[in-house]
Amino acid sequence: MKFNELKNINSELLKSLSEINFETLSPIQEKTIPYALEGFDIIAQAPTGTGKTASFGIPILNNLNSESNYIEHLVIAPTRELSMQIYNQFIKLGKYLNLKIALIIGGVSYEKQFKELSKKPNIIIGTPGRINDFIKNKKINFDHIKTFTLDEADELLNMGFKEEIEAIISNLNSDHQSFFFTATFDEKIKNMAKKIVKDDHKNIEISSGLKTSQTITQEYLLVKEKTKFVSLIKLLQYYKPKSLVIFCRTKKRVDELCDALKQLDFDAIGLHGDIAQKNRSFIMNQFRNNKKQILVTTDVAARGIDIHHIEWIINFDLPQEIEYYTHRIGRVGRNGMSGYSLSFVKIDEIEHLREIEIRTNSQIKEIFLPKEEEIYQKWRMQIDEKFQKILNQNEDNQFSYLENELMEKYTLHDLATIIAYYLLQDKHKYKKINLTPEPSVILKGQAKIRNIKNRINKFNHNSRSNNSKNNNKKNRRAKWQK
């Protein structure tokens, strides 16, 4: 379906959709938007990267009364980064709609946000903690709410925002439309959804939630903890991805890995929850605008972040929760585009990786590091290209005075030795960098029990098979002896 085929869609909204090349609805949009435009509450389950923001953004903006001086639309997201991304998407979609919108998130001064609220916005987008603060201090009023949206509802509950969300719901009027978007749908999510949507709501499901996109090539590399960094550097030097996100399990790991990459002159920047909001916004903009090549991050960037130029995702540490694997690699392969993900896996994490494969319906293929000879040849080619570039730039003999001085002072052998020393200095430097070891991610709970049962069954099957073979051998031996 085309956007211009939607019934009762605002012409000004269509104009902005056309400008940002929104022509055909994605599956989640096609199933959601028509019902939303009719006024139905929505529970939608869909994986990351499928166009969920427009699924609720378009109906909200289509229902906008820019003449109103009340807050009529409220959107809640789990993280500041996702809230800001939704905010920016609304700005693009509502370019011709006289939009009055405020972003209410933690890490920003209250005074600045009081100023935004004084402009009487129609739409509020933000995180539950800060919005609750404003409710408690009676600085915000939701008596005139028309739509209430929870985006990434499962993550909101995982992050412990249940009480804040319930407090927000208790301050809304009863006559509003609700949009409930989630990637996974367990009992906790069902219970929360019941408190939000009406009985005649529409249930929409695009996938099971954990399933990964078929357009993402998924591979893993078997490593030891102490060889992770060296392996990473070899891969980066050999394949030279232009834009990648490296996921780590802890904030300390992010800081250490980012610093180590910078020591080797990689264009890296780090992101995690302990960084002040102003700096987090700066970091994301640096990466989003291609001013930094590598983003090293915790799972704070695993959800909803939509940056089209990302080529690679590297799981430097596997996530404990399988759903985070889906969300991490979902930073690539968005909207049907191709992408690549690579996971570093220790030998005692293989069972966990197999569980990820099963529950995400994925095929994760093992790869191996390029051979030393291949790495060396690639490195040599890159050095030759750099040398040639320098020679081409020196056509005007701008370095001639220095060339003559060096030729008089050193022999050709001396100069070659000096160049080799400087070339190899950085090449071997990474071998001396040691990161603080991280514990392995192992199976737990029901997954571990299931895995043990499978191993027992396999052992019993093999034992029965071996016993059967031994009995056949005995029978043959007895027959021969007769």
Task: Tell me the CATH number at 254.
Answer: 3.40.50.300
Range of the domain at 377: 372-432
Amino acid 482: pLDDT: 47
Amino acid 472: pLDDT: 63
Task: Looking at the structure, tell me whether residues 187 and 220 fall in a common domain.
Answer: no
C-alpha atoms less than 13 angstroms from C-alpha of 15 in its C-beta half-sphere: 7
Higher pLDDT, 147 or 424: 147
Task: Looking at the structure, tell me whether residues 397 and 286 fall in a common domain.
Answer: no
Judge whether residue 479 has pLDDT over 60: no
182: tokens are: 């989630």
Task: Looking at the structure, tell me whether residues 273 and 169 fall in a common domain.
Answer: no
**Mean confidence (pLDDT) of the chain:** 87
Higher pLDDT, 359 or 39: 39
Task: Looking at the structure, tell me whether residues 191 and 287 fall in a common domain.
Answer: no
Q: Is residue 387 part of a domain?
A: yes
Cα–Cα distance, 12 to 10 (Å, whole number): 5
266: tokens are: 């990689």
Judge whether residue 259 has pLDDT over 70: yes
Predicted confidence band at 476 (pLDDT cuts at 50, 70, 90)? low
Amino acid 167: pLDDT: 93
Helix (H, G, I), strand (E, B), or coil: what is residue 225?
helix
Q: Please, which residues have CB within 8 angstroms of residue 315's CB and are 6 or more apart in sequence?
A: 247, 325, 328, 329, 341, 342, 343, 344
Task: Looking at the structure, tell me whether residues 282 and 417 fall in a common domain.
Answer: no
Judge whether residue 90 has pLDDT over 90: yes
Task: Looking at the structure, tell me whether residues 165 and 224 fall in a common domain.
Answer: no
Instruction: Give the torsion sign (CA, 23, 148, 181, 34).
Output: negative
pLDDT in tens, 182-228: 887 778 888 889 889 999 999 998 765 677 778 899 999 999 999 99
Predicted confidence band at 463 (pLDDT cuts at 50, 70, 90)? low
Cα–Cα distance, 318 to 321 (Å, whole number): 9
Q: Is residue 10 part of a domain?
A: yes
Predicted confidence band at 60 (pLDDT cuts at 50, 70, 90)? very high
Q: Is residue 439 part of a domain?
A: no
Catalogue the E-assigned strands of 64-112: 73-76, 101-104
Mean pLDDT over 299-305 rounds to: 80
Give me the residues paired with residue 366 across strands: 220
Q: Is residue 437 part of a domain?
A: no
Amino acid 248: pLDDT: 97
Contact between 242 and 309 under an 8 Å Cβ cutoff? The reply is: yes
Task: Looking at the structure, tell me whether residues 64 and 113 fall in a common domain.
Answer: yes
Judge whether residue 282 has pLDDT over 90: yes
Domain count, the chain: 3
Region of poorest pLDDT, from 112-121, 152-161, 288-297: 152-161
Higher pLDDT, 426 or 388: 388
Task: Looking at the structure, tell me whether residues 63 and 201 fall in a common domain.
Answer: yes
Q: Is residue 473 part of a domain?
A: no
**Would residue 10 be called left, alpha or beta, if left means φ above 0 and alpha means ψ between -120 and 50 degrees?**
beta
Mean pLDDT over 89-93 rounds to: 94
Judge whether residue 452 has pLDDT over 60: no
289: tokens are: 């605008």
The one-letter code for the residue type at 160 is G
Region of poorest pLDDT, from 96-110, 202-216, 367-381, 463-477: 463-477
Q: Please, which residues have CB within 8 angstroms of residue 135's CB and are 6 or more apart in sequence?
A: 142, 167, 168, 171
Judge whether residue 383 has pLDDT over 50: yes
* CA 288 remoteness from chain centre: 13
Higher pLDDT, 460 or 331: 331
Judge whether residue 338 has pLDDT over 60: yes
Predicted confidence band at 467 (pLDDT cuts at 50, 70, 90)? low
pTM of the model: 0.68
Q: Is residue 448 part of a domain?
A: no
Task: Looking at the structure, tell me whether residues 175 and 297 fall in a common domain.
Answer: no
Task: Looking at the structure, tell me whether residues 357 and 252 fall in a common domain.
Answer: yes
CA triple 148-77-157, angle to 5 deg: 95
Boundary (domain end) residue, out of 157, 180, 205: 205
pLDDT in tens, 418-428: 887 777 666 55
Query: Which residue is it, tokens 């191993």?
Result: 455
Region of poorest pLDDT, from 262-271, 342-351, 438-447: 438-447
Amino acid 381: pLDDT: 82
Contact between 216 and 340 under an 8 Å Cβ cutoff? The reply is: yes
Q: Is residue 258 part of a domain?
A: yes
Amino acid 64: pLDDT: 92
Q: Is residue 339 part of a domain?
A: yes
Amino acid 477: pLDDT: 56
Boundary (domain end) residue, out of 341, 367, 393: 367
Task: Looking at the structure, tell me whether residues 341 and 392 fall in a common domain.
Answer: no
Region of poorest pLDDT, from 149-163, 171-185, 228-242, 396-410: 396-410
Judge whether residue 52 has pLDDT over 60: yes
Region of poorest pLDDT, from 95-104, 299-308, 407-416, 446-455: 446-455
Boundary (domain end) residue, out of 334, 367, 400: 367
Task: Looking at the structure, tell me whether residues 161 and 241 fall in a common domain.
Answer: no
> Nearest Cα to 14, choosing from 1, 25, 3?
3
Mean pLDDT over 466-474 rounds to: 62
